[in-house]
Amino acid sequence: MSRPSVTASLLLPNVLTFFRFGLAVVFPLVSPSWRPLILILAALSDAFDGMFSRLFHTASTFGQILDPIADKVFVGVVLITLLVEQTVSLPALLLVAARDLAVAFGVVVAVIRIGSDAIRRMPPHVLGKATTAFQFAFLLWVVYDQSVPFPLLLITGVISIAAGIDYLRNPHWKRPESAAHRAAPDDETADL
């Protein structure tokens, strides 16, 4: 691969991720008729940033941290905009954002307990990816139709809650085990 194409393959996934931050800023400011397009662009940027980093073998810690933050910021801005405009209710917002609230709690606890290095050890889960996909589908329906489809809200909420529970059941805020601790699992004082 030539030098310019290597640079492009390194930059493209992160540019797509940053693009979602820009879309989050623009979403509340544009006419409702443009919002479905913004949601489609955000979903495509989410799909393609990861695909390009895997395709070009350019996954980075920076990108792995930035991508879920961009997702949560975008979804959060859209939900808050729809709440302020009274298109969705607060219970619907909490249901759709349950996973994101659990992750935010987990990140805060992890950073407090073991420092910012903990963020690098928070891999994506299948339920988390499913939640993001259903969130985008739900939000696209809401901004296009200006209605809240109860069945899609329920499915999105159940998956979001399940992903949040899964995340909290497999916390990333535990300190990594030391070699001495692993060598002596029967030591009852090891957890003190």
Q: Model confidence over 89-138: pLDDT tens digits?
A: 999 999 999 999 998 888 888 888 887 776 666 667 789 889 999 999 99
* CATH code for the part of the protein at 3-174: 1.20.120
Q: What is the pTM (predicted TM-score) of this model?
A: 0.81
For the segment 139-152, what is each residue's pLDDT rounded down to a tens digit?
999 999 999 999 99
H/E stretch holding 172: none
120 CA to centre of own chain? 14
Q: Where are the domains of the chain?
A: 3-174
